[in-house]
């Protein structure tokens, strides 16, 4: 068996074309252009690269982007003031604060300051809690991208055994909750899980987001499993790899995502989706149906 390699770039391109059409409807019908504000604190090269990709994505689908660049010396209070300004700007539909932040700034305080209606990253406590009930305002972008990949490939989730390797608040936990909402049986494994292969061998769908290169080898993958690799690791020789031994596991899985070219392509795409959705809600509602946190 050789797995079908899921082309995340192609899926993202198809979705972005659909999103561009939605932007055009907003402009023609409501005279509204979706807008995303991105706040970048400091000069972390990786963060700068991620921000460039997000701004390029905005341009591709017709979203207006606003980049707020702040020095690493910015205080937490100053950053919160910038967020409050954007919360109150009715022309801005999404606010994203690029992580990581300088050590002196408390990330929870920053995330909680962003208005729920503009939390297009899906990290606010209201959105994270909403994943439990299936009533979130915005789904976190990477888990949402995983869900969209499964939908695009017509991979059944209902009744399937799903194992998520990695228990982060950004990827692992929300991915598990979103798949549970689709009636999958979900197990979350993490760095203290004993006998990892005991669990992964049971997985019809294996989602890996542990940040450990080649953690998942063929011996611990069920024949015919769907393998979604969310890992992104830079090796000493400069190569980018995921958490899965791609060459080995692709000979055993039924579907597999490559790194790069898989889930990473979808994360920014779902950010664009959430920003457009926010603009659509703002354009069609006189009052917000969502609780607002200042």
Q: Which of 165, 157, 231 is nearest to 197 (CA)?
A: 165
What integer pLDDT is reported at residue 123 of this predicted model?
A: 92
**CB-based contact 269:15 (threshold 8 Å):** yes
What integer pLDDT is reported at residue 134 of this predicted model?
A: 82
pLDDT confidence band for 175 (50 / 70 / 90): very high
pLDDT confidence band for 278 (50 / 70 / 90): very high
What integer pLDDT is reported at residue 285 of this predicted model?
A: 80
What integer pLDDT is reported at residue 71 of this predicted model?
A: 97
**pTM score of the predicted model:** 0.93
What integer pLDDT is reported at residue 190 of this predicted model?
A: 94
Q: Convert the pLDDT of each residue in 204-256 to its tens digit.
A: 999 999 999 999 999 999 999 999 999 999 999 999 999 999 999 999 999 99
CA 176 to chain CA centroid, Å, is 13
**CB-based contact 230:243 (threshold 8 Å):** yes
Q: For residues 63 and 60, what is the distance between their CA atoms, to the nearest angstrom?
A: 8
Residue 219: active-site member: no
pLDDT confidence band for 153 (50 / 70 / 90): very high
Determine the average pLDDT of the residues in 59-85. Answer: 98
Residue 54: active-site member: yes
Share of the chain above pLDDT 90, in %: 90
| Mean pLDDT (the chain, rounded) | 94
Q: Which of 113, 118, 119, 121 is catalytic?
A: 121
Q: Convert the pLDDT of each residue in 94-146 to its tens digit.
A: 999 999 999 999 999 999 999 999 999 999 989 999 999 888 889 999 999 99
pLDDT confidence band for 83 (50 / 70 / 90): very high
Q: Can you give the three-state secondary structure of the chain, one letter per residue?
A: CCCEECCHHHHHHHHHHHHHHHHHHHHHHHCCCCEEEEEEECCCHHHHHHHHHHHHHHHHHCCEEEEEEECCCCCHHHHHHHHHHHHCCCCCCEEEECCCCCCCCCHHHHHHHCCHHHCCCCCCHHHHHHHHHCCCCCCCHHHHHHHHHHHHCCCCCCCCEEEEECCCCCCHHHHHHHHHCCCCEEEEECCCCCCHHHHHCCCCEEEECCCCCCCECHHHCCCCCEEEECCCEECCCCCEECCECHHHHCCCCCEECCCCCCHHHHHHHHHHHHHHHHHHHHHHCCCCCCCCCC
Please check the confidence at residue 293 and state whether its pLDDT lies above 50.
no
More confident site: 125 or 4? 4
pLDDT confidence band for 282 (50 / 70 / 90): very high
Please check the confidence at residue 192 and state whether its pLDDT lies above 80.
yes
Residue 98: active-site member: yes
What integer pLDDT is reported at residue 135 of this predicted model?
A: 83
């Amino acid at each position: 068996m050789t797995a079908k390699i899921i082309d995340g770039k192609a899926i993202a391109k198809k979705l972005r074309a659909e999103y561009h059409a939605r932007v055009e409807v907003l402009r023609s019908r409501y005279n509204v252009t979706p807008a995303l504000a991105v706040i970048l604190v400091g000069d972390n090269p990786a963060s700068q690269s991620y921000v460039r990709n997000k701004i390029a994505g905005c341009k591709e689908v017709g979203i207006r982007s606003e980049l707020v660049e702040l020095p690493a010396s910015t205080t937490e209070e100053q950053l919160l003031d910038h967020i409050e300004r954007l919360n109150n700007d009715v022309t801005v539909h999404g606010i994203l604060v690029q992580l990581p932040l300088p050590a002196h700034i408390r990330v929870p305080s920053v995330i909680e300051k962003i208005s729920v209606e503009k939390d297009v990253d899906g990290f606010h406590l209201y959105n994270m809690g909403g994943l439990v009930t299936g009533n979130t305002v915005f789904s976190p972008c990477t888990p949402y991208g995983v869900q969209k990949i499964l939908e695009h490939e017509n991979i059944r989730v209902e009744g399937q055994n799903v194992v998520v390797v990695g228990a982060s608040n950004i990827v692992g936990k929300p991915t598990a909750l979103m798949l549970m909402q689709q009636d999958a049986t979900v197990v979350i494994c993490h760095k203290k899980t004993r006998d990892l292969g005991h669990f992964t061998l049971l997985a019809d769908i294996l989602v890996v987001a542990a940040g450990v290169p080649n953690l998942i080898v063929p011996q611990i993958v069920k024949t015919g499993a769907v393998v979604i690799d969310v890992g992104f690791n830079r090796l000493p020789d400069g190569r980018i790899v995921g958490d899965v031994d791609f060459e080995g596991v692709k000979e055993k899985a039924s579907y597999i995502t490559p790194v790069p070219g898989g889930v990473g392509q979808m994360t920014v795409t779902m950010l664009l989706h959430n920003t457009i959705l926010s603009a659509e809600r703002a354009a069609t509602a006189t009052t917000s149906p969502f609780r607002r946190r200042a």
